[in-house]
């Protein structure tokens, strides 16, 4: 079974990736970044805020570093996901959002189940729009235990927030009954760690999307790919399947600074998976507006790298 009907297009994109001119990294992107395009998943690591004990060594990845990173990509909106390095201390989000500019930045908090209503309202005021739940090998060790998920969802539902899950693929499938029962929107990180449409985690995500309350982040296309760059044709096929089935429930993010992959390869693979400029625009602009509450009447201009500015002024 063919993964995607885009073999010639993929070959062209691969050629672009190899033969990129020396003007600047943005020349490797195969499409013009639209105004208001959103990086719906990245982190900030700033040592001015203390990390939790026993945190593995985390290189600095500050707001200025992120701004330098995203400029060549053209992205003009973003969503900061509080990294696990800060535990449940969400104070850094206020600082980070202030530096980024709150009109074009939203964030995702990490909380304990007993968080107070006053704190929830304060977080909402600074741009928080969701709570992230992250499990690795043992959900019982998570900051929010499985039996606390529904109570937390009921707490945040009046704010219009969503719950965002980052869990291994097999565990995601096991959590399916809980995911389908939640009263909030549910966002699944990093493609649900699906590399094939035959995997149970893919089926779980599809069921969730079909409810109209589910969303999928097609970030991390490189994480579970067996094929790898520049095309990521296996995980790009999964991305394409998500987009074709539910084009208004898909967002994209860089996962900076965790990922070390070339973001232009990933963006080009996303463009192939989207299948059309209209759907690509949905994923990058319209869907983040719906999920995070960005103003569709105010779409900030696509950023230009310094190399682009030089060419424009020449």
- Domain boundary assignment for the chain: 31-220+250-259+293-313
Please tell me whether residue 39 adopts helix, strand or coil conformation.
strand
User: Which sign does the torsion angle of CA 24, 26, 32, 33 carry?
Assistant: negative
Confidence band of 29 (pLDDT split at 50, 70, 90): confident
Alpha helices in 89-131 (DSSP H): 91-100, 117-125
Higher local confidence (pLDDT), 3 or 161? 161
Taking the C-alpha atoms of residue 314 and residue 312, their distance in angstroms, rounded to an integer, is 6
Query: Does residue 4 contact residue 242 with C-beta atoms inside 8 Å?
Result: no
pLDDT band at 57 (very low <50, low <70, confident <90, very high): low
Comparing CA positions, the residue from 220, 221, 131, 136 lying closest to residue 171 is 136
Rounded mean pLDDT, 81-105: 93
Q: Output the pLDDT for position 133.
A: 95
* pLDDT at residue 15, rounded to an integer: 31
Question: What are the tens digits of pLDDT across the range 195-237?
Answer: 999 999 999 999 999 999 999 999 999 999 999 999 999 999 9
Summarised one tens digit per residue, pLDDT across range 254-285 is 999 999 899 999 999 999 999 999 999 999 99
> Residue 55 pLDDT > 90, yes or no?
no
CA distance 244 to 247: 6
Of 55-59, 120-124, 226-230, 291-295, which range is least confident?
A: 55-59
8 Å CB contact between 241 and 216: no
In tens, the pLDDT along 104-148 reads 999 999 999 999 999 999 999 999 999 999 997 666 667 888 889
pLDDT per position as a tens digit, 167-198: 999 999 999 999 999 999 999 999 999 999 99
**pLDDT for residue 89 is more than 70:** yes
- The CATH number for 31-220+250-259+293-313, chosen from 3.20.20.150, 3.10.180.10, 3.20.20.140, 3.40.50.720, is 3.20.20.140
Q: Is the pLDDT of residue 12 over 70?
A: no
Residue 309 has pLDDT above 60, yes or no: no
pTM to 2 decimal places: 0.88
Residue 307's pLDDT is 52
Q: What is the CA radius of gyration of the chain?
A: 19
Residue 245 structure tokens: 């089935």
Residue 295 contacts residue 289 (beta carbons within 8 Å): yes
């Amino acid at each position: 079974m063919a993964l995607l009907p885009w073999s010639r297009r993929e070959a062209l994109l691969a050629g672009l990736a190899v033969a990129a001119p020396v003007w600047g990294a943005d020349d490797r992107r195969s499409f013009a970044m639209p105004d208001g395009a959103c990086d719906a998943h990245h982190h900030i690591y700033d040592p001015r805020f203390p990390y939790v004990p026993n945190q593995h060594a985390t290189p600095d990845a500050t707001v200025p570093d992120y701004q330098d990173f995203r400029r060549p990509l053209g992205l003009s909106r973003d969503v900061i996901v509080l990294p696990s390095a800060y535990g449940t201390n969400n104070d850094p989000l206020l600082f980070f959002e202030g530096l980024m500019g709150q009109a074009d930045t939203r964030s995702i908090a990490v909380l304990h189940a007993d968080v107070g209503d006053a704190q929830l309202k304060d977080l909402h005021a600074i741009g928080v729009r969701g709570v992230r739940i992250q499990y690795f090998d043992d959900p019982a060790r998570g900051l929010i235990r499985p039996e606390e998920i529904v109570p937390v969802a009921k707490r945040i539902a009046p704010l219009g927030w969503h719950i965002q899950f980052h869990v291994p693929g097999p565990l995601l499938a096991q959590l399916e009954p809980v995911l389908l029962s939640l009263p909030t929107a549910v966002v699944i990180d990093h493609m649900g760690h699906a590399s094939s449409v035959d995997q149970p985690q893919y089926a779980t995500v599809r069921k969730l999307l079909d409810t109209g309350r589910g969303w999928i982040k097609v970030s991390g296309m490189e994480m579970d790919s067996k094929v790898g760059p520049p095309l990521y044709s296996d995980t790009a096929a999964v991305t394409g399947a998500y987009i074709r089935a539910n084009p208004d429930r898909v967002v994209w993010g860089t996962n900076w600074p965790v990922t070390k992959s070339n973001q232009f390869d990933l963006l080009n693979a996303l463009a192939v998976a989207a299948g059309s400029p209209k759907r690509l625009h949905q994923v990058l602009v319209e869907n983040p507006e719906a999920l995070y509450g960005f103003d569709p009447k105010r779409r900030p201009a696509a950023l230009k790298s310094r190399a682009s500015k030089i060419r424009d002024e020449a």
